[in-house]
Amino acid sequence: MPYEAASQVPPTLAAPLASPAFRLRQADEAEVLRFLAVDPVQTVVMCSYIADNGIESELNRGTFFGHRASDGRLDGVALIGHSTLVEARSEDAMTALAATARTPEIPVHLIMSNGNDAQKFFDRMSMGVGTPRLRCVEDRFEAAFPFAVQGCEYAIANADESQLEIVARAQAELAFIECGVDPMIRDREGFLSRVARRIEQGRVFSIFEDGKLLFKADIIAETKETIYLEGIYVHPEFRSKGIGARSLAALTVQLLSRVPNICLLSNVDFVNAHKCYGKAGYRRTGQCVTLLV
């Protein structure tokens, strides 16, 4: 998805912290999941990481931190690292978590949160000095029953290990369009390992014909309430022919047998993609900002 350069943020003074953020441990899992369950669509990625890897795992590519209000209850949780995800429900939580991100164990590559919270987090993390490298405004699309069943001439199946290279190249193409970085060049082995794990988890769905990848979509995160899709790809020769919409619709029907809600994000400028999602049965439900730093 294309990004725009972020605007300059005026310097601001950091407010004193009412209480600092603290590192979350495995013993905190039940409490954290209860906190995140209040907004299952917004927090699906963090919940899925915890379910897949646990709170304390290198596979999260970051560290989970929490913040407590004066009454002792959690009012903020963030995964701080390569992909920094923030759920802060008070100004004190936002400030404390952002302060912790100034010295991360794993460098922050992107920041994602609801609405404009990613920008607020970055402003406090940077103490108002500097700007993120790129800023992307994304629309959120969701699908749920009742959902119109559409015919699809192709069978959608789980990708397998023999298709790793082709699937990874398609995913790398999408990543390059989104942020201008080709992960197959930047970190080939690490990227292939992450795609391979997703294939092993049964979270990459594809359509192949004569060895050619026509369509693919990945489950990035899954909970009992929500599946978050990403990496939706259609081969250039088959774009603007309705194949993407029919394939996505067929996949969505399959996935709605597992969870009550499917969601995905798309850059606000991707008008053609949005038409595809609409034809597939998705509706626009919100917006968020993602920052590359």
pLDDT in tens, 238-261: 998 999 999 999 999 999 999 999
Q: Helix/strand/coil (H, E, C) string of 55-108?
A: CCCHHHCEEEEEEECCCCCEEEEEEEECEEEEEECCHHHHHHHHHHCCCCCCCC
Distance from the Cα of residue 175 to its chain's centroid: 12
Which tokens is 166 given?
């082709």
* pLDDT interval class at 17 (50, 70, 90): low
pLDDT of amino acid 8: 42
Residue 284: count of CB within 10 angstroms of its CB: 14
Residue with tokens 């989970």: 64
Q: What is the pTM of this model?
A: 0.87
Please, what are the domains in the chain?
Answer: 22-132 (3.40.630), 143-286 (3.40.630.30)
Reply yes or no on whether the pLDDT at 13 is more than 50: no
pLDDT of amino acid 117: 95
Number of C-alpha atoms within 13 angstroms, CB side, residue 275? 9
pLDDT of amino acid 148: 83
Reply yes or no on whether the pLDDT at 107 is more than 60: yes
Q: Which percentage of the chain shows pLDDT scores above 70?
A: 94
pLDDT of amino acid 149: 81
pLDDT of amino acid 110: 95
Residue 45: count of CB within 10 angstroms of its CB: 20
Residue type at 250 in one-letter notation: A
Q: Which one, of 268, 271, 1, lies nearest residue 140 by Cα?
A: 268
pLDDT of amino acid 85: 98
What is the per-residue pLDDT across 186-200, written as a single tens digit (0 to 9) for each?
Answer: 999 999 999 999 999
Helix (H) / strand (E) element for 154: namely none
* pLDDT interval class at 11 (50, 70, 90): very low
When mean pLDDT is compared across 57-66, 198-207, 284-293, the lowest value belongs to 284-293
pLDDT of amino acid 115: 86
Averaged confidence pLDDT in the chain: 92
Residues, the chain? 293
| Alpha helices, DSSP H, located in 102-160 | 117-125
